[in-house]
Amino acid sequence: MFEKRVRVGFIGCGHHSMESLQPAVSLIPRFDYVAACDLDAEKAREAARRFGARKTYTDYVEMVDEESPDAVVIVGPPPLHEEAGVSCLKKGLHVFVEKPPSLTLDGARRLMEAMKSSGRICMVGTHWRHMPVHRALKTLSEREVFGEVFRLEATYLAPDTRGAWGLSFEWGFMLNQAVHPMDCLQFLGGRVVEAEARGVVEEGRKLAVSASLIFASGAVGSFTLGGCSPLFYERVGVQGTGGWAEAEQFKRLRYAGRERWIEPTDPSAIQTLVFEHGSHYRGVSRPGYVEELEVFAESVLSGGHPHADAEDAYYALKTLDAIVKSIEKGGSVRID
């Protein structure tokens, strides 16, 4: 049993909270689940029944004032992430908000600034970078034999047929879906400084985006999105001067190194690692959810600063905004 635990409260007990994050919290002994809050009292009571929250609330300000938790996990409509996130940071709490941090770039910046002035942790839920397969991809790409990373790519197809949260199709898709592969590319390649994109967007029928990216490191990236898709499909790849590695569908990792390369067509030159798990992983809907909350708990307890914070999320949104602007106006857009 761990001596020190993070006293945590949940704000928002809707679908994602109850299906993925609260089950994850109940698997992490470093958390002490003190209270659940939802505008709908029955949802908060359900959280207490299923995941052991000791008290329930319908007003998060009251919950925070009465329980004084160390940290909150906020999983609501995006404006709540910004509003409750800023409010809790100002009260000295550590915060984990789901993606997107806000519906606007300005809102994401406000959350980032509140994090910086509070000195507290503000992580944003970006489970792709915490998945075992993407962690392994990063570890491979950082090995000396992999050399200098000079090319990255991500392809992501998702079923959305209209913009989430009443937004335009393209911006809603960026905030709801594209934020995941963009965050993963930043995790692997660092900040993006320039984007040039083309796109076709027709609500209810099609969404296609093809963007070319320049990273601060000088690496070049390609970013491909498809909406109205009959399936989810994900692929993330990295090429270095000494090797190539690609993760597909959160499960398969393929790697080829230039060292000891014998015949370019020799299939044994490609090493494949398969992360075997079914539709559920560690009892939770997808890999990455338990891991991101483990990082949150460990950072709160150790006083360390986690990656995937409100600043990373702000820059991911800035890049997605640059892609939308490039589609609308043509030409390349700088990201400061």
The residues of the shown chain that bind ligand NAD, judged by CB under 6 A, are 11-17, 37-40, 43, 60, 75-78, 80, 98-99, 125, 127, 176
Instruction: Rank residues 174 and 300 by Cβ distance to ligand NAD and give the closer one.
Output: 174
* C-alpha distance from residue 296 to each of 34, 80, 171 (Å): 16, 20, 28
Residue in 235, 83, 230, 238 with CA at minimum distance from that of residue 147: 238
**CB of residue 68 vs ligand NAD: minimum separation in angstroms?**
18
Instruction: Rank residues 75 and 88 by Cβ distance to ligand NAD and give the closer one.
Output: 75
Instruction: Rank residues 22 and 319 by Cβ distance to ligand NAD and give the closer one.
Output: 22
Compute the distance between CA of residue 75 and CA of residue 209 in angstroms, rounded to an integer. Answer: 28
**CB of residue 229 vs ligand NAD: minimum separation in angstroms?**
16
147 and 243 in contact (C-beta within 8 Å)?
A: yes
Instruction: Rank residues 83 and 321 by Cβ distance to ligand NAD and give the closer one.
Output: 83
**CB of residue 38 vs ligand NAD: minimum separation in angstroms?**
4
Residue in 47, 51, 49 with CA at minimum distance from that of residue 26: 51
The letter for the amino acid at 280 is H
**CB of residue 311 vs ligand NAD: minimum separation in angstroms?**
18
**CB of residue 103 vs ligand NAD: minimum separation in angstroms?**
10
The letter for the amino acid at 201 is V
Q: Which residue is nearest to ligand NAD (CB)?
A: 14
**CB of residue 16 vs ligand NAD: minimum separation in angstroms?**
3
Instruction: Rank residues 16 and 282 by Cβ distance to ligand NAD and give the closer one.
Output: 16
Instruction: Rank residues 98 and 311 by Cβ distance to ligand NAD and give the closer one.
Output: 98
Cβ neighbours for 231, distance < 8 A, ≥ 6 positions apart: 157, 159
Q: What is the crossing angle of helices 132-141 and 179-189, to 10°?
A: 30
Three-class SS state of 268 = helix
